[in-house]
Amino acid sequence: MQAKVSKTCLHNGIRILTKQIPHVHSVSMGVWVDAGARDETPAENGLSHLIEHMIFKGTKRRTAFQIAKEFDAIGGQSNAFTSMENTCFHGRVMDTHLATMVDIFCDIFLNSTFDDAELERERPIILQEIGMVEDSPEEFIHVLLGKAYWGNHPLGQSVLGTRENLLLFDSAMIKDFFRRFYQPGRIVISAAGNLNHDQFLDLAAPAFEAVAPGPDLPCRLPPNGQKQQHISVRDLEQVHIGLATRGLSVSDPRRYACSLMNTILGGNMSSRLFQEIRELRGLAYSVYSFISPQVGGGMFGAYAGVEPGRVGETVDLILQEMRKLKISPVTTDELRDAKEYTKGQILLSAESVENQMARLAQNEMHMGRYVPVEEIVGEIEAVTQEDISSLACELFHTDPLSLALLGPVAAEFDFNPLLVL
């Protein structure tokens, strides 16, 4: 039986979407909020992530232990994440336990107490999380690169926030931020798996229809990248390199061409960066390119971790490969292989109910509709060599072009002459 996608918009503006997949025995559900680190002022930075933690720490009906115990008792999985623009609370259970999962999510989302005593217990956990990221150079370099490229724009903030902010946050601040941003127009509830749309509505709609609209929300500032260097000297074995230039917004129609260009440049083991920098020259164990699309703009970047004495050489090689994409078309074989790789990744991920649940919500928030896999595959097939060359010429420019370095960097080395696209 073909999977069926259904959508209902409640009277207050909350959207509920389901995808019925009859051949599975589980259901994945997510409560998505179109709010994240990008929506925080500098003094609020970290509040979205703190809410992600605190929403599991007790309601008027359940303690934090009871929430955890009830999920465990049905063999369920629950989690949450915060990004620059979204916060999501999600879980997965056997289809026979759907009603219990919906009840728990309705309760924690609508009735969390954000108790000060629980906050004091959770505060050191998040401080540890911040420390874990800082102790992982390959992860922390992306935080530094975001600060370098986005500068003072909210996208340059860390999703985790700062230690200083975290120590100042209290229950009243959490509740105020929650009330301002967790509004019906920003909430999407999605579910995928062996479920019926009308039955899911009967479970979720009565509780979520009670959410009242809040005050007008501030508009998100349009992002503009900057040409900056951020060098953080640290006693490490490697220097971790991050390069960033202009990318596309999450809804740009050329996103398929951008995805293929990323795959060809550094998206897999047969990519140009992997072959040139790792396989042919042995400069790096880990090297790749990446795309970071946001609403209204994005970032295209590359990463490598190398010996301290090979930093300049590696930066130059990355930029050389980016320039090549501007100067000459990718080969027919490269484009064909990139298309097959990308289609394979999409189709394999479609076998996961969690991924299907996430795609429902993300399509709704960014496109305003469900985008079938068949349509995505067709768009990928339609990308030409000229599309990629044209996009590379548009995106890859010296201004903006930012560099972030983390590790034992030679203080006297001048990277400015290299940073030319």
Instruction: Choose among 301, 255, 314: nearest CA to 155.
Output: 301
Tokens of 112: 């969390």
DSSP state at residue 211: P
Q: Name residues whose C-beta falls within 8 Å of residue 96's C-beta, 6 or more positions apart in sequence.
A: none
- DSSP string spanning 217-236? PPPPPPP-----EEEEE---
Helix or strand (DSSP H, E) at 332? helix 332-349
Secondary structure, 3-state, 279-300: HHCCCEEEEEEEEEEECCEEEE
Instruction: Choose among 80, 162, 167: nearest CA to 120.
Output: 167
Tokens of 320: 């050389």
Tokens of 136: 């992982």
Q: In one letter, which amino acid is 337? A: D
Q: Name the active-site residue from 52, 85, 118, 354.
A: 52
Q: Name residues whose C-beta falls within 8 Å of residue 36's C-beta, 6 or more positions apart in sequence.
A: 48, 82, 83, 84, 85, 86, 87, 159
What separation, in Å, do the N-terminal and C-terminal C-alpha atoms of the chain show?
51
DSSP state at residue 209: T
Which residues does residue 336 pair with via DSSP β-bridges, in sequence order? Answer: none
Helix (H, G, I), strand (E, B) or coil at 162: coil
Other C-beta atoms closer than 10 Å to the C-beta of 53 total: 17
Between CA 25 and CA 198 the distance in angstroms is 18
Q: In one letter, which amino acid is 52? A: E
52 tagged catalytic: yes
| Cβ(364)–Cβ(391) below 8 Å | no
Question: Which residues carry out catalysis?
Answer: 52
